[in-house]
Chain A
Amino acid sequence: MSFRRSFLARGMALATLLASAFGNRAMAQAGTLGAPVPITLAAAATSSITVIVLSGSSQTIPSITPNAINQFPTPVQIYTEWNLSFFFGGTLSLVAYFSNPAQALTTGAFNIPAARVEGLTSGGNPTLLTAWTPITGNAVGGVGSAGGTAALWNWPAICGFGIFCRQGNRTDQLDLRLNLVGYPLAAGTYAGVLNIRAVIY
């Protein structure tokens, strides 16, 4: 009997002790801050050059006048935007080209070569094609084809980190025409693709 009473007393004492201990601990955690856990965020804004044809991406001459200059009816509006981390010692150039200069426009076995496609730019400054010029140049900065390329403008950059130089945009107008003077053309609907891309070289 004394053994049972003693056991009961010890149990109650232990319970009281535990309750006291846990009660104190709960109160202590209410204001405790955990250690900060750092999360590393990484994001890279890489240098980019973006070219967009705003309008005139499809040009049509419904009826060619033989042995004459035939201008495409609407100009091509080209927007170029560059966002570079720095800009030292290169030239940013907007380049237009035909992949196959001998067959700039084709219909069946008949072709209009790039030498018969002429361009004229206006809008941005400086421009290169300020007079009607056949698209017969060579690749620029690795962009284009031999004998079927024209740089529409060049943007020399020597200003390094200056934001006015390493970030910018411009909109240019490119007019196109077919010079068919002295170039008999077989009947047909001729189709071709003029590629436009910017490059730093």
Chain B
Amino acid sequence: MNRIFKRVLLVGALALVASGAQAQVGTLSNGPVTVVLNATQAPTLTLTTSVASVTMASSIGANVVSPFPTFNVTATWNLTAGTTIRLVGWFNTPAAALVSGANNIASARVLGRTGVAAYAPFTGGVSSTLGVAGGTQQLWSVNAAPLNGTATINLDLALDYVGQPSPNAGAYTGTLNLRAIVQ
């Protein structure tokens, strides 16, 4: 009797387990509930130069164009829109682009060019919202497509004293501002 009872219990338990497992498997919760994820990669446009400063190897000559060492400018961009990236250079005070005490070299005497372009003085007006009147030059433009890219160009600077005597003796220093803008 006891054995029969145990068998009945065992069979019942097994049946219960089997039916229970079948009934529960596949049960789903409500939902799915959701978590909304947002993340923004801001557009970037970065400009770097191969050097932080350039020093003319020889003295500023009279009646000649005296070049500074060539250096590289690299633009790296990751944009959401735009067609052209423009590189603009300017001196904050065109009348005193380089200064040595009371002596100045005007931005009109500073020439710039990128790649194989012709030299041009920094005498332009504000370009693409950048620069100052009379001390600015757009140096370079590059296609912004694809919107994630990089480009490097050589930048040559020089002092133009063609038809002029050399400036007063002294160590002249100045800062050329470079900035890129996407349009």
Contact = CB atoms under 8 A, between A and B. Distances in A.
Do A and B form a real pair?
A: yes
Interface of A: 47-53, 56-64, 66, 70, 72, 76, 78, 80, 84-90, 97, 104-105, 112, 117, 141-143, 160, 174, 176, 178, 184-201
Contacts of A184: 78, 148
Interface stretch (B19-27, B47-55, B91-99, B101-109): B19-27
B38 to A, nearest CB: 4
A101 B24 CA distance: 29
Contacts of A187: 41-44, 78-80, 147-148
A64 B40 contact: yes
B19 to A, nearest CB: 8
A72 B42 CA distance: 16
A57 B65 CA distance: 66
B13 to A, nearest CB: 9
Interface of B: 16-17, 20-21, 23-44, 78-80, 147-148
A59 B26 contact: no
Contacts of A178: 39
A89 B27 contact: no
Contact of B29 (A72, A86, A199): A199
B34 A186 contact: no
Given A56-B35, A64-B39, A80-B29, 7 more contacts: A50-B29, A57-B34, A64-B42, A90-B21, A104-B37, A187-B78, A200-B26
25 contacts: A48-B29, A50-B29, A51-B32, A53-B35, A57-B36, A60-B40, A62-B40, A64-B41, A78-B33, A90-B24, A141-B25, A143-B28, A176-B35, A186-B147, A187-B79, A189-B39, A189-B41, A190-B40, A191-B37, A192-B37, A193-B35, A194-B34, A197-B29, A200-B25, A200-B26
